[in-house]
A and B are shown apart, each in its own frame.
Chain A
Amino acid sequence: MRESVRRTVREERWQGLGVCDGIVLGRVLRIHNGARHIYRATLEEADVVREVRRWRAAVRLARRQLLKIKARAERVLGSEHAYIFDSHLLMLEDQKLLDDVESFIRLERANAEWAVKVVGDRILAVYAEIKDDYLRERGSDIEDVMQRILVALSGEGPRYRRLTEDAVIVSEDLLPSAVAELDFKYARAIATDAGGWTSHTAIIARGLGIPAVVGLRDLYRRARTGDPVIVDAISGEVILHPSKETIEHYDSLSADNRRAGLAVADNAPGPLRTEDGVDVVLRANLELPAEFEGVKRFGARGVGLYRSEFLMSQRGRMPSEEEQCQAYEEIARLAGEDGATIRLFDLGGDKAVGTFSDGERNPALGLRAIRFSLRHKDELRKQARAVLRAAAHGRLSIVLPMISDLTDVRQARRIINEERESLTRRGIPTGQVRMGAMIEVPAAVLIADKIAREVDFFSLGTNDLVQYLLAVDRGNDAVADWFRSLHPSVLASIKQTIEAARAASIPAVVCGEMASTPAYAAILVGLGATELSMTINAIPRVRRTVAGINAGEARKIAEECLECETADDVEELVRVRLGSRWPHLFPPKSLPAPKSQE
């Protein structure tokens, strides 16, 4: 892997699913996400000294990286969370660790990677014995530091610096908790083996506004840190070791693409209306603190969906009432007059829940979201108190995730009301909080009219709705072809939900990933949606789209779509109708590529 042994290699191509547009030419930076495979090599006596030097250089490199990460974490997560990197730094300075690894390299004539693994495993074994849960978990800090040194060992070399500046993150999958550690200032693109359109990787990429391709199966195994790579998220292609001709071809494309990408944020976003005068409101979906500053910059009207479970994945444990209350106040402040909607913890399912995880056989259909909260009532009460208290300082709403029966709504409402009364009795100020239901389970669509009578608003979670309606696991790239946001049944469900809300005179916000794709947004407006909530960086382009279309005509197109027999037919119709009616808004490349190719 050293630069000197690099040999000429042939261009290799992978086809995946582009989930955030753009084309980038960069160098691979492999980000590991679990166990590494480390092999033992026995060194020649003469090479031992060099190996020790390599090890020391890796520690220095890891230390520099950590200092940067710590500074960034202080900015993004706040100093209260950055302290964790203090202990990581101390581990890198720990004389005992440094001595142990070094003497292992010398005595065993082992490669540095192997020495790190052996010494690290020894320490971890001691930790595994600790009886105190909290302290035992600190073993993960040690693992993290070991990983960092191993990464430093693999990426070591004079080119490292240049390499980080055009880094293409290549990983098996990116977990939200990994995000805090990455310096996305240098990340140009993301390419992952797993994942679909709505996987966390995809959502993170869109939040950061960098090109991403997912579902690449074995790219991670084949790519090496430092390899030149092209990520073409428009065609969903990733090219490793591109040939000179390929690079030239992409260089020209890439320049055009950069120009198009620069046309963001018009700075005075007044009310948004379609050509024929229908008001449409665009709100922000938030998860990472890094996205917060974008709320104003991209002209969002408040926060349509705050995924509160990030507070947990960020800490690796359930946040306290105080921590939650502070976070919600901050979000209410950001959202201002337009308010923010806090989605109660969507825990369980594919989201790691740490201490609560029981290893369900079918987590997507298991104890997650509102079911999880109703089963862990202390957590629900804690979250309710935090929102109610924060609402005394700003406009907040609560939305209940994964409602399938009115009983869920009634139980949650009762608990929230009890907490409000008890806060009031104790003289603690609370604010008005509206309560809505996420409509994302097919059962809820079918009884939307009944739910509408008992809640203040609907939030349509299209990601889960598509997953549950079509019975397609959205993180499984083997079935990515069956994940069809424009399936006629999806459109019919959205329409039915919006109509139920209208009949009950309550708002319905469409807040899945669908809303962030201009062509889909046009169809959503055609289906009657007037409030869309999306990842912030999509707001400028959706805004441009909505302002340029005619809602009446969009409705006709949507009605035609509802008559279609297959998802293919809908996609084709959308491509043809939107592309011919508003060619300036929907150039051929902007429309989702056809999925079924026969």
Chain B
Amino acid sequence: MVECRVVVVNRLGLHARAASQVVRLANQFQSTIRLERADGSAVADAKSILSVLMLAAARGTELRAVAEGVDEREALDRLCELFAKGFGEEAEK
């Protein structure tokens, strides 16, 4: 099991477009992938869009990403990268 901490940096938070990207990515891996609010108040299955959306992670939310399985390392790296990039959203003035 591996885990890392990520912060939602994009303006609109983990909304439909960003969540879609997370789910698409997660589904490429065999490992189970969880996203948890850092305060432990909510847990989501990263392969389910409804679950990820229900995290209601607005901008600035801290999350813990946890992957477990044969490809856990790569899955986690790619996921953290996606968060760090802010889902490729252009910054709005």
Contacts and interface: CB of A to CB of B under 8 A. Distances in A.
B16 A141 contact: yes
A498 to B, nearest CB: 44
A421 interface: no
A90 B49 CA distance: 6
B92 interface: yes
Interface stretch (A128-136, A207-215, A461-469): A128-136
A86 interface: yes
Interface residues of B, number: 22
A94 B49 contact: yes
Contact of B58 (A86, A135, A320): A135
A142 B13 contact: no
B1 interface: no
Q: How large is the interface on A (under 10, 10 to 19, 20 to 34, 35 or more residues)?
A: 20 to 34
A127 B56 CA distance: 8
Nearest to A126: B54
A95 B47 contact: yes
Interface in A309-337: 320
A135 B50 contact: no
A126 B55 CA distance: 10
A94 B45 CA distance: 10
B56 A87 contact: no
B15 A83 contact: no
Contacts of B92: 320
A132 B58 contact: yes
B24 to A, nearest CB: 7
B50 A132 contact: no
Contact of A90 (B12, B14, B23, B57): B23
A86 B20 contact: yes
A49 interface: no
A132 B54 CA distance: 11
Q: Tell me if A's interface is mostly helix, strand, loop or mixed.
A: helix
B53 interface: yes
Interface in A87-146: 87, 90-91, 94-97, 123, 126-127, 130-132, 134-136, 138, 141-142
Contacts of B45: 96
B56 A90 contact: no
B11 to A, nearest CB: 9
Contact of A132 (B13, B19, B23): B13
A471 interface: no
Contact of A84 (B16, B53, B54): B16
A138 B13 contact: no
Contact of B50 (A84, A134, A142): A142
Contacts of A127: 53-54
Contacts of A90: 20, 23-24, 49
A242 B29 CA distance: 55
Contacts of A136: 56
B90 to A, nearest CB: 9
A87 B51 CA distance: 12
Contacts of B13: 132, 134-135
Contacts of B5: none
A97 B12 CA distance: 25
B17 A83 contact: yes
Interface in B1-47: 12-17, 19-20, 23-24, 45, 47
11 contacts: A83-B17, A84-B17, A87-B17, A87-B20, A127-B54, A135-B13, A135-B15, A135-B56, A138-B15, A138-B16, A138-B53
Interface of B: 12-17, 19-20, 23-24, 45, 47-51, 53-54, 56-58, 92
